[in-house]
Chain A
Amino acid sequence: MITVQELSKNFSKKTVLENVNLHVNKGSIYGLLGSNGAGKTTLLKIIAGIIKQDTGSVMVDHSKVFDQVGIKQRMIFIPDQPYFFSHYTVKQMAEFYADLYSNWNHERFQQIQRILKLDINNKVHQFSKGMQRQVSFWLALSAMPEYLVLDEPFDGLDAVVRKKIKNLIIQDVAERQMTVIVSSHNLREVEDICDYIGILHHGQFLFEKDLDDLKSDIHKIQIAFKGDLPTKLIDSFQILHKEKRGSVYLVIIRGDRVEIDETIASLEPLVYDLLPLSLEEIFVYEMEGVGYAIENILV
Chain B
Amino acid sequence: MNDAAATVVAQGLRKTFVGPDGNRFAAIDDVSLTVRAGELTALVGPDGAGKTTLIRMMAGLLKPDAGSLQVLGIDLTRDPQAVQDRISYMPQRFGLYEDLSVQENLTLYADLHGVPQAERRERFARMLEMTDLARFTERPAGKLSGGMKQKLGLACTLVRSPDLLILDEPSVGVDPLSRRDLWKIVQQLVHEEKLSVIVSTAYMDEAERCGQVFVFNRGRMLADGAPAKLRAWAHGVTFTARPPEAMPARELQARLIDRPELIIDAVPSGGSVRFIRRAGEDEKQLNEMLHDAPFAPRPEELEDAFMMLLRQAEDKDTKAAAKPAYEAPRVAAVSSNGANCQPVIVVRDLVRKFGDFMAVASTSFEVARGEIFGLLGPNGAGKTTTFRMLCGLLPATSGHLEVAGRNLRTARAEARGRIGYVSQKFALYGNLSVRENLEFFGGAYGLRGKALKARVAASLEQFDLEPSAQSGILPAGYKQRLAMATGLLHEPDILFLDEPTSGIDPLARRAFWRTITALAKSGVTIIVTTHFMEEAEYCDRIAIQDAGKVLALGTPHQVREQAGAASVMDMNSAFIAIVEQSRAQRETKGGAA
A and B co-occur in one complex: no
The residues of A with any CB-CB pair to B shorter than 8 Å are none
